[in-house]
């Protein structure tokens, strides 16, 4: 029997890749190429790329490498990913979900920079939230909570009143570290113990009560 969990909220903080947009095809193409160029096993590299900014992924994969080289490579990687939108599609239920939250407090909090976020949300035909925290606006990559804390502050809500939507271990860890509840989305999320987990956004309903309070109804 399906079970519904009700999660009250005042604001939503939404990751992009793997949460609203399925960009796995592009990510795998670009990172496989990078891994091979640096003598790494692409399969092992792909285990750590999700959720982090590129320079942070490179630092995990090549811990002895000077960070300035990672930042330089990251600029090249972002340009490649921005130019390649083949196979970028919305996560199941994302269009209806974004329509449902259009008039509610929400922000995009992504490890992509502004150009990449615009390219992928556009390719998936999803509306871009007015409030967003992109890579160039934070000093630390997920799993650091800075991005989510900044998103909550921009919207004007306490962390405890926010729900994070995330698909990756790094993102879920960041949401928890920010003191927020986390809804895990997709196959990577369950192993990182989010507050609740769904296969995609078709299992999430946004409900506004007569008194104006809002909640997520998560049915699995």
- What is the set of active-site residues? 15, 17
Residue 130 CA to residue 37 CA, distance in Å, equals 38
Q: Which are the contacts of 140, defined by CB distance < 8 A and separation ≥ 6? A: 146
Residue 89 φ then ψ, to 5°: -140, 160
DSSP structural state of residue 201: G
The DSSP result for 102-136, as a single string, is TTS-EEEE-SS-HHHHHHHHHHTT-PPPSEEE-GG
């Amino acid at each position: 029997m399906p079970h519904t969990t009700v999660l009250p909220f005042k604001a939503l903080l939404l990751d992009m890749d793997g949460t609203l947009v399925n960009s796995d095809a592009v990510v795998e193409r670009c990172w496989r190429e990078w891994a091979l160029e640096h003598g790494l096993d692409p399969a092992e590299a792909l285990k750590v790329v999700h959720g982090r900014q590129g320079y942070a992924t490179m630092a995990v994969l090549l811990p002895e490498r000077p960070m300035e080289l990672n930042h330089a490579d990251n600029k090249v990687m972002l340009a490649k990913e921005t130019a390649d939108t083949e196979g970028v599609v919305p996560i199941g239920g994302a269009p209806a979900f974004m329509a449902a939250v259009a008039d509610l407090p929400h922000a995009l909090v992504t490890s992509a920079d502004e150009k990449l976020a615009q390219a992928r949300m556009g390719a998936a035909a999803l509306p871009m939230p007015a409030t967003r925290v992109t890579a160039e606006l934070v000093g630390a990559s997920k799993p650091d909570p800075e991005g989510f804390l900044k998103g909550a502050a921009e919207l004007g809500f306490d962390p405890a009143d926010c729900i994070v939507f995330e698909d990756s271990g790094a993102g879920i860890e960041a949401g928890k570290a920010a003191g927020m509840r986390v809804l895990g989305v997709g196959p990577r999320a369950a192993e990182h113990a989010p507050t609740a987990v769904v296969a995609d956004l078709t299992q999430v309903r946004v409900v506004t009560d007569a008194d104006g309070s809002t909640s997520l109804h998560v049915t699995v």
